Amino acid sequence: MHTVILASATAEQTSSGGGLVSLLPLLLIFVAMYFLLLRPQRKRQKEARSLQDSLKEGDEVVLNSGIIGFIDDVQDDGIVWLNVADKVEIRVTKGAIASRMSTVESRDSQAG
């Protein structure tokens, strides 16, 4: 009868430390999600913001929809006038611009 009481007492002592160990996989999942999902997403957002802030007249850009054009005017309220063909201008937001194909300086250096 005494051995049953001792066995249950030792089982209680070993299970008390298992609570911290059982939380370790959950913590590792959150750390992995941060490095695989959140951190790269923030990096892409910073790059997109720096692209949008550096836009100027004459840059050739590509919109998210695939339209290619030259910037005619950049307004302070986040609107960009884009020349897509002869006498055809469209008004888009800076957030619609996916990438810059060339700048005025790079075209000038290639031409001259």
Contact by Cβ (8 Å): 87, 69: no
- State the Cα–Cα distance between residues 60 and 47, nearest whole angstrom: 18
pTM: 0.65
- Say what the pLDDT of residue 88 is: 95
Determine the Cα–Cα distance for residues 43 and 8; give it in Å rounded to an integer. Answer: 53
Give the class (CATH, top level) of 55-111. Answer: mainly beta
Give me the numbers of helices (H) and strands (E) for the chain, helices first please.
Answer: 4, 5
Per-residue model confidence as pLDDT tens digits over 46-89: 999 999 999 999 999 999 999 999 999 999 899 999 999 999 99
Of 14, 4, 105, the closest CA to residue 56 belongs to 105
Q: Which token pair is 29?
A: 């999942």
pLDDT at 95 over 80: yes
pLDDT (0 to 100) of residue 99: 93
